Structure formats: structure tokens, C-alpha cells
Structure 1
Amino acid sequence: MPLCQFSIVIPTYNRPDRLQICLEAIAKLDYPHADFEVIVVDDGSKTPLDPIVDRFKTELDLQLLRQSNAGPASARNAGAAIATGKFIAFTDDDCRPTANWLTAFADRFRSNPTALLGGQTLNALPENLYSTASQLAIDYLYDYYNQGEMKANFFASNNFALPTAAFKSIGGFDRTFPLAAAEDREFCDRWLDRGGRMVYVPEAQIYHAHHLSLPTFWRQHFNYGRGAFCFHQIRADRTQERIAVEPLAFYFRLITYPFSKVPSHIAICLSALIFLSQAANAIGFFSERQSVPQVPNPT
């Protein structure tokens, strides 16, 4: 039997300051603290995290796991492996859940007890154009893939929750994804393929504070491209179909998406950055494709 309602799993790597802010927000959740636990998984950080985590042990049921650096997919699975909650809620160390985050998930689980629930992610750094452009791209993906709250197809792993038993039954995240790139997309796709339901819960909100500069913005989206190839390859192997990517209209709408969200003088800059992100994404995709050994066709 579950020992609590929720297990919050947080992978972290070399961001102690961000982790502290995340835990401060979790300590302020309006959900009864006796009904959730927090599992922080240190994915091989250079700086010990005990001083950060120990500050919150009087307020939270909190555990710290350590593993050699293996990527966020592996770290999330490690946290889920010791989870005692009926449900697992995933977030990241650079995220700050709002006070009603778990309450919103709990309310929706009452009518959807077996679903994968995804919340809304908000940009915590609106003054940073790179962070804003990156979040707008995610917002576009939510608009594109999630046609209504009850017809969702993609949630980012920094803000979703699901039954613990169901997470374990389909094998968790694919550990072959070493980067924070597309492992959540693959998980959602596999969840749907196994007959699972996905429900969008926009009131379950977190603020994402991903500080980006031009070099880190490029690297992030280059890695997204690498992850996208891995996702499409894994999906093609599972479905025995050829690798297929989104149509050109998808990218045109993505690049023009900022004009529907912000004033035009800002949208021009954001649109240019999203165009740059897609160039980085494409280079990462084909770079990863070239690195995969080609199996010769039988003759």
C-alpha cells in the first residue's frame, strides 16, 4: 500500500542555487505535507548537495539519492524506484511550483485516476529573450500536440504526474537518452501506445527559470535535435515504420507563433531566435543521424 499520496521526484545536476529555490517553493505547497514526500536525485553533481537538502528536512519528508552522472532520464527512474506515493509528480531543479500545484493534480486525479496529467509551465525569466523564445517554442508544442485538455499527446517532464504503479509498469523513462532532450516525448508516445490517457491540467503551474545566453540557447536546441532523432529512431523501431518528421507548415507556424503572443517589435526578435533554434535543431538531428551506424540493406 502507498505510504503517501504523492512522491515528488527532482533530478538535479550542478545547480545547487536553483535546487534551493525549488525546495523553498515545495515547502510552501498548500497540500498537506504529511501526504507527500520529496526525492532529490543528485546526478553526479560536483558540489555536495547535503547542505542544501538538510535545511528542508524539518519541513519536508525529504530524501537525497546520489548516482554517477547518467542523465535526467536515469535520475528520474532512480527516484521513482524508491517512491512510496500513490502518484509520482516530476519537476526539475530549475522549476518553482506554485502553491496549488499538487492540489491541482490531486483534484484532477479524482476524476482521472489512471491518467498521465501534465501541468502548465510559465517562463520565470521574461526579461531574457533566449529563455522567452525557448518557452514560446514549448508553448507552441503544447498548442500543436494537445488539442484540448482531454486530447493531449505531449507533456514536458518538468511538470507531469501519474500513478506510480503505471510508471513502473511501462519501464519508466528510456535510459538511452543521456541528455535532457526528448526522453519525455518518447515516454508520452509510449504511454499512448500502451493505451494510456493524457489529460492537460493548466492550473497545475510551475515557473521555469532556465538562464540562457546565445551559446547555451544554441547548445540546448542542438541537443533537442539530437534527442529528436533518438525519439524518431526509437519510435520507428517500435512501430516498424519509417522515420517521419513534422510537415513544413508545422515549422512555419512555429516561427510565426510569437506574433500571436507578444507585441510585434518583440515578436520579430523572438521569431528570429526561434528560427535559429530550428536551425540548431536540424543540425543536431542530422549530426545524431550521421553518428548512428548504418545497417546495409540485404542483397
Structure 2
Amino acid sequence: MSDLLPTFSIIVPTYNRPRGLKRCLQAIEALNYPRDLFEVIVVNDGGDQSLAEIVAEFEPRLFLRYVVQQNLGPAVARNHGARLANGRFLAFTDDDCAPASSWLQKLAVQLMAEPRKMAGGYTRNALHRNPFSITSQLLVDFLYHYYNQTESRARFFTSNNFAVAADLFWEVGGFEELMSLAAGEDRELCDRWLEHGLGMVFVRGAVIYHAHHLQLFSFWRQHFNYGRGAWLYRWLRSQRKDGVMHLESPTFYFKLISYPLTMAQDIRAFLLTAMLLFTQTANATGFLFQQFSRRSSKKKLPVREPVQ
């Protein structure tokens, strides 16, 4: 059976989360996939916390490579790891994620059947008592429900759970390195992927567990940055098309905010609706901040060149 399975390079960008990285590597070590068919590339994005001891703990048991770059953001870190990759397919996850044991096997089955498609899995929140983490997960659930209703014709995956053929990843240009925040770079890549006429398929059984602990300020900052990333994504998209920045319809935002009420109409659902409204307020603030920052700087963003 292992002779039929493809090789993978699992790329994990990390920044100042040593405990999260250790949990991630423990989960990767437990993958139900032949050990000689995957490697792990950990890219430290200029964090100031030492990770060498954590990585060294796993080196005897995994084909593992550890590299350090200056702090340039997760998009650059993922591209850095992809340049070092030897696998036929690239699988991306993050340092606050723990893949289920069947994660890589589920992605492999799909990619063997349709190697020219991007395969993305399902993310579950691992912090069931954190209301901010619950709300962020609910937002992702809505986006997957909205964009991926037909699993064989998906349109959006988060960057912590998808896999692609390495050659096709570079054919479309990799992650957009102008997007230095952990915000919107996945959406921008998916958009370009589809523009190249390539397909996406949602693999519901390819599960990772996301443990991103949030408090009020970090929750606001996360969604503020999502707004900044959304502006840059839409600006980049406009440069490839008609020069006009297009937004989603008002119906999209109404459906997003009211999403909890489609599942229940109790006090918890109303509280989650209020928190989703809070995320969109932060998002809109970040969007406007990025727009006015560009105008005030009077700088023209560089035209995208393919990443190699």
C-alpha cells in the first residue's frame, strides 16, 4: 500500500509558540502515514523564543528540517519552506494546530484521485471554553458553509489545512509575500488558484484541531488584521482584473452575523451573533485603516511578480 502513496512535505511556519509547536509535532509524529513518505519543514519566522531543543526532540523520529528567517510573516515563511521541500505534494498547517492521525492519509487519497486539485480539510476548535476562540471558529465554519457548499467545487480554504502539488503551487506563484500579516493570504492564494483554472475539493475527513487562545484584545487585533488583509487581498485582485475593488454583497454579511441563529435561537446563539457583529466591526475598522494608510503614505504598492 505504501508503494502507492505519494510523498509529502508538511510545512509549519512558527512564531513564538514553542508549546504549540511541540503539540503540533507530537500530532504529526502520530500520523497514520508511512514515516518514509513525508518530511516536516519547520520555519521559524524570526521569533525570539528558542525552538532548537523542541525540534531536536523530534529529529530522531521524523524527517525534520528546521530553518530560521527574519520576521517577514507567514506567507514568506510558507514559501521558504516550500522551496526546501522534496515531496510531490505540499501540506500546510500551523504551529497552533494538531492534525488528526488520519489527516495526511485523507488528503493523500483525494490527491491521488485528482492530483491537480487543491485539497483542504476541516478545522475544529480545540478550546471549547474560550468564547473568543469559539467565535473565530464559527466564522470559519460560516465561510466554509458559504464557499464550499459543493465539496467538489470548493472556493476557500484556510492556510492551516490544505495540500497541493508542489509544481502547481509554484505555477500559480505561491503565497503572496506582500501580505505580511496572518490575514487574507490564504484567500488570495485560493483566488489565484481558481483564476488559473485549477480546482479545489473539500475533504471533510481531513481534520486538524486548532488551539488559538484568544482574549478580548487579541481577538480584536486578530479581526482588525483580517480587515487589513481583506483590503490588500481585494486591492491585489483588482490589479489583476478591472482595477475596481469589489466587496461582498450586504446579504453575505447579514448571513454571516446571523449564522448562529440558523442553528438555534437561544441565549447562546444571540451572544454568538453579537460576537460575530464585533468581529465585523473590527474587520471594517482594519479595512478602513489599511485603505487610509495607503493613501496617506502616497506609496504605490509594487506589482506582483511570480515567486520562484
TM range (shorter): over 0.9
Distance apart, 1:147 and its partner CA: 2.6
- State the match for 2:224 in structure 1: 222
Equivalent in 260, 263, 272 of residue 270 of structure 1: 272
Q: Distance in 2 between matches of 1:260 and 1:123?
A: 20
Q: Distance in 2 between matches of 1:262 and 1:40?
A: 41
Q: Distance in 2 between matches of 1:75 and 1:56?
A: 20
Distance apart, 1:286 and its partner CA: 0.7
Equivalent in 157, 160, 164 of residue 158 of structure 1: 160
Q: Distance in 2 between matches of 1:99 and 1:201?
A: 15
Residue identity matched to 1:37: E
Q: Distance in 2 between matches of 1:262 and 1:57?
A: 47
Distance apart, 1:241 and its partner CA: 3.9
Residue identity matched to 2:229: G
Change (3 A) 1:11 1:262: farther
- State the match for 2:114 in structure 1: 112
Q: Distance in 1 between matches of 2:220 and 2:33?
A: 38
1:33-72 matches, within 5 Å, as: 33-72=35-74
- State the match for 1:258 in structure 2: 260
CA shift digits 1:26-56 (9 cap, x unpaired): 0000001110000000001101211000101
Residue identity matched to 2:129: E
> Aligned to 2:238, what secondary structure does the other structure show?
helix
Residue identity matched to 1:18: G
**After alignment, is 255-264 or 117-126 more displaced?**
255-264
Distance apart, 1:222 and its partner CA: 0.3
Q: Distance in 1 between matches of 2:32 and 2:43?
A: 23
Q: Distance in 2 between matches of 1:160 and 1:293?
A: 35
Q: Distance in 1 between matches of 2:136 and 2:285?
A: 17
- State the match for 1:235 in structure 2: 237
Correspondence 1:168 to 2:170: yes
CA shift digits 1:125-164 (9 cap, x unpaired): 1111100001100110111111311111110000000001
Residue identity matched to 1:129: P
Q: Distance in 2 between matches of 1:203 and 1:50?
A: 33
Instruction: Show structure 1 runs of 4+ deviating over 4 A.
Output: none
- State the match for 1:178 in structure 2: 180
CA shift digits 1:205-251 (9 cap, x unpaired): 00000101111110000000000000000000101241111111111
1:52-201 matches, within 5 Å, as: 52-201=54-203
Q: Supply the RMSD in Å over aligned alpha carbons.
A: 1.2
Instruction: Return 5+ residue gaps in structure 1 as ranges.
Output: none
Residue identity matched to 1:20: K
Distance apart, 1:259 and its partner CA: 2.3
- For these two proteins, the number of residue pairs brought into alignment is 292
Equivalent in 28, 31, 36 of residue 29 of structure 1: 31
- State the match for 1:8 in structure 2: 10
> Aligned to 2:151, what secondary structure does the other structure show?
coil
Q: Distance in 2 between matches of 1:196 and 1:230?
A: 23
**After alignment, is 236-245 or 70-79 more displaced?**
236-245
Residue identity matched to 2:260: P
> Aligned to 1:120, what secondary structure does the other structure show?
strand
Residue identity matched to 1:56: F
Distance apart, 1:19 and its partner CA: 0.2
> Aligned to 2:113, what secondary structure does the other structure show?
coil
Q: Distance in 1 between matches of 2:264 and 2:217?
A: 24
| Sequence identity (%) | 49
Distance apart, 1:262 and its partner CA: 5.5
TM-score (norm 2): 0.93
Residue identity matched to 1:171: G
Q: Distance in 1 between matches of 2:253 and 2:199?
A: 27
